A = this chain, B = another copy of it.
Amino acid sequence: MNNKLVLLITFVCLVGRSLAQDNPRPNIVVFFVDDLGWQDTSEPFYTEKTPINKSFHTPYVERLAKDAVKFTNAYATAVCTPSRISFLTGINAAHHRVTNWTHPKANTPTDNEDNLLLPPDWNINGLSPIAGIPHTVYATPFPQILKDNGYHTIHIGKAHWGAAGTPGANPLNLGFIVNVGGHSAGHPQSYYGEQNYGNIPGKASHQAVPDLMEYYGSPIFLTEALTQQAIKAIQTPIDRKTPFLLNFSNYAVHVPIQPDPRFVQRYLDQGLDANEAAYASLVEGYDKSMGDIIDFLKEQGVYDNTIIIFVSDNGGLSLHPARTNASHTQNLPLKAGKGSLYEGGIRVPLLIKGVNQKKGITRDTPVIMEDLFPTILHLANISNYTTVQPALDGQNIAELMSSKKQDAKWDKRILVWNYPNKWIPTDGPAINFFSAIRQGDYKLLYDMKNGRLELYNLTKDIGETDNLVHKMQSKTTEMSRLLAEQLRSWKAQLPTYKTTGHPVPFPDELK
Complex-state Cα separation, A232 to B171, whole angstroms: 12
Per-residue interface assignment for chain A, residues 166 to 177, with 1 indicating a CB less than 8 Å from any chain B CB and 0 otherwise: 111110110001
Whole-angstrom distance between the alpha carbons of A150 and B241 in the complex? 11
Which residues of chain B are within 8 angstroms of A106 by Cβ–Cβ distance? 216-217
B216 touching A105 by the CB < 8 A rule? Answer: yes
Contacts of A177 in B (CB 8 A): 177-178, 236
For residue A183, CB closer than 8 A to chain B, the reply is yes
Contact at A208–B213, with CB atoms within 8 Å?
no
- The answer to whether the Cβ of A55 comes within 8 Å of any Cβ in the partner chain is no
Contact of A218 with B by CB under 8 A: yes
Is A408 on the interface with B (CB-CB < 8 A)? no
Please state if A172 and B216 are interface contacts (CB–CB under 8 Å).
Answer: no
Given the complex of chains A and B, what is the CA–CA distance between A274 and B35 in angstroms?
A: 52
The CA of A165 and the CA of B220, in the complex, are separated in Å by 11
A225-236 to B contact mask, C-beta < 8 Å, 1/0: 000010011001
- The residue in chain B whose Cβ has the minimal distance to the Cβ of A1 is B8
Stoichiometry, as copies per complex, reads 2
Tell me how many residues of A have a C-beta within 8 Å of chain B. 51
Q: Which residue of B lies closest to A208 (CB)?
A: B204
- List, in ascending order, chain B residues with CB within 8 A of A213's CB: 164-165, 169-170, 183-184
Which residues of chain B are within 8 angstroms of A218 by Cβ–Cβ distance? 165
- A405 an interface residue at 8 Å Cβ cutoff? no
- Is B206's CB under 8 angstroms from A201's CB? yes
A211 at the interface (CB under 8 A from B): yes
Complexed CA–CA distance, A173 and B105 (Å): 30
- Residue from A13, A184, A215, A216 with most neighbouring chain B CB atoms (10 Å): A216
State A208–B168 Cα separation when bound (angstroms).
20
Q: Give chain B nearest CB distance to A471 CB in angstroms.
A: 51
Do B172 and A229 have beta carbons less than 8 Å apart?
A: yes
Determine the residue in chain B with the shortest Cβ distance to A204: B204
A144 to chain B, nearest CB (A): 11
In the complex, how many angstroms separate the beta carbon of A265 from the nearest chain B beta carbon?
27
Q: How far is the CA of A211 from the CA of B209 in the complex (A)?
A: 10
Q: Does A9 sit within 8 A of B, measured CB to CB?
A: yes
- Provide 11 A-B residue pairs closer than 8 Å at the C-beta atoms, listed in order of the A residue: A16-B16, A16-B17, A105-B216, A106-B216, A165-B218, A173-B214, A178-B178, A183-B213, A184-B213, A202-B202, A204-B208
